[in-house]
Structure 1
Amino acid sequence: MKKNTNIIFSILLVGCSSTQSHSESPLNDNLKESVQFEQVAEQEQQPEQQPEQQPEQQPEQQPEQQPEQQPEQQPEQQPEQQPEQQPEQQPEQQPEQQPEQQPEQQPEQQPEKKSEKLPDYTKLLAPPALPIVTPEIKAPKKLNHPLNNSNKLIFMLGQDSEGFYLYGEGPIIKGAFNKFKRYVAHYDNQNIKLDRLMLHSPGGLVNEGLQIGGYIRQNKWTTDSDQYMKCYSSCGFIFAAGVKKRIQAGAEVGFHRPYDPSKTDTPEFIEMVYEEYKPYWGYIQGSPELYDIFMKGYGREDMLVLKAGSINKYMTVETY
C-alpha cells in the first residue's frame, strides 16, 4: 500500500510540475531522491524475508527425523531375540532326557526274565515227561536211615486231628506209583477222600517218585512229616510237590543230586542231570535257589537235610 500511494503522489507532483517552469527543478530532484529511497527500502525488505524462511525449515526437519528413527529400532530388536532363544532351548532338553531313560529301563527288565524260567512249567495241565536218567538213589549209609536195607513199600490209612491221610514207608521201588494209585482208589470206594500223604522213606527210583509227586501237585494234595519221619533222596522230590506242606519238630527232609551207580559223576553227566530234572522242579514250583544248591553241591555221598527250623528258608511249610 505504501508503494501505491507513493506512486500516486509522484504522479500528482509531476502534473503540477508541468504547469510550472523549469526553474523549480529542485523539487523534482527531491522527488527523485524520495522515490529512489523508497525503492532501496523495498529491496532491503526482500532479502530479509527470503533467508529467514528457507534456512529455518529445511535444516530443522531433515536431520531430526532420519537419524533418530533408524539407529534406535534396528540394533535393539535383532541382537536381543537371537542370542536368548537358541542357547536356552537346545542345551536343556538334550542332556536331560537321554541319560535318565536308558540306564533305568535296562537293569530292571533283565533280572525279571531270568527268574521266570522255572515257573513257566506250571502252565502244563499234566506233569512233564520223565527224565531219561532213571537211577535208583538212596540216602548215604552214613545217615543211618532206619529203612535203608528195606526192599518193600507199604501203604496204610492214617488219621489225626487234621483228618485222614495215606501213610507210606519203605524204599520207592519199581511199581511204587501204580501201588500208590491203587490205595487211593481203594479208599475212595469207601467214601474216604484222601488228599494228604506222609512218607517215611530212604529214597529209591527217581522216576517212580516223580510220578507220585506229579500226581500230588496235579490233584492239590498236602505233604506231611511227623516227628519220627525221615524223607530222603527221591522222597524229598515227593515232599516238595505238595501244594501245602506240614512238618513236625524232629522230622527231616533230605535232598541231593540224582546219580547213576554205574557211572562216574563227570562234569558232563552232572550238567545233563541238572537239565533233565529242571522241568519237574519247575512244574511243582520248587525253589530255584534250593535246586541249584543240592544239584551242584550235594552228590551221591552227601545230603542237604532240612528240618523244621531251616526248611522255611526254601519253601513255605507249616510247622507243628
Structure 2
Amino acid sequence: MSRAEFTLDTDVLRVVCWNIEHNGRGLSGHDDHRELARDILASLEPHIVLRQELTGAWERGKADLYAEANRVGGLMPFMTAPREGRSRNPVGVMVHPGLFHVDGEFEHDMPWKPICNPRVRLKGCPKPIDLASAHLCHFDPDLRATEARRLTTLADNGRSALVGMDANSYPHTELESVALPDWAAVEDRVHYQHRTVELAGRRVSDTRPDEILSGGARPVFTDLGLHAASTLAQPGALAATASLKRTDQGPAQRIDRVYSTPDLAPALLGFDVMATDDIREVSDHALLLATFDLDALRQVLTPTR
C-alpha cells in the first residue's frame, strides 16, 4: 500500500506548523539541513503543512518548494511571492490532494511579508476552510497588530479558518507555562525595541496580536495550544517554541501558535510541541502538530439547514 493510499484511510487529520530556520539552509547558507527537515515532516505524515521561512524556495522555478511537498507525500504546495525590498523569507501552505479540493488561492499583500491563504474543502463537505500561514513582522509591533487584524477577515461572514504562524509576539492569557520575558535581564536591546509596546507609561511584552485573534468575550479564533491545555488536559501544548538556540533574548517563549475558528476546535484531539534533537538541529523553532478527528470535522463542515 502506498503512503498516499494509507493517508486516505486515516480517521484523523494531521496539521503541522513549522518555521524552518532559513528553510534549512542555516544562517551562513553552508549548513544544509533541508533533507533532514523533509525527513522530519514526512515521518509525521501531515495532511496540512503551514510553513514559515521558505527562504530561497522561490528560486529555480520553486524547486525547493516542490521538493519538500513531494518528499512529504505529494502535497499540493502554495507559496507567497517575495517582494523587492521586503522580507526574503516567504510563507507557504501544503495540502493533501487525496483529502482536499482547492476552491481558491489568495495572497494578502502586507507591508513586510504576504500571508498565504488557500481555500480548501474536505472532499464530500460543502463548507470550505480558509487555511493561512503567516509570519508576523519581527521588528514592528504596530504592523503585527495590523497583520493580526487582517487575519480576522478570514473568519468573516461565518467562514471556517485554520491559521498557523510565527507570531513574533506573546500570548495574552495568564494560563501560560512560561513567564513573559523579564526585559531588564534581556541582553539584546534591539529585541527589546522589537518585542515591547508602551502601556500606561511603561514598556511591556507585545501581546496585541494574540488579543486581537483570540481575546475578548467573543473571540474570533481559538488558540489551539491553549484549548488543548485547558480542555484536553495537555499542559505540554503550552511549551515554549522559540528561540531554541539563542540565549541573549531571554528564555524561549510560545511565539509559534495555531488558531482555528471556534467551530473547528471541538474536533481537536491533541496538540504537540515537538523539539527533538533533530528538530533543534534544523531550526530555532519547535514544530507544532495539531491532530483532529476527521469525522468530527466533516460534521462541522457539513452544516444542516
TM-score, scaled relative to structure 2? 0.29
Would you tell me which structure has more helix in proportion to its own residues?
1
User: Over alpha carbons, which structure has the higher Rg?
Assistant: 1
Structure scoring higher RCO (CA < 8 A, sep ≥ 6) equals 2
* TM, length-normalised to structure 1: 0.28
Structure whose residues are more often strand by fraction? 2
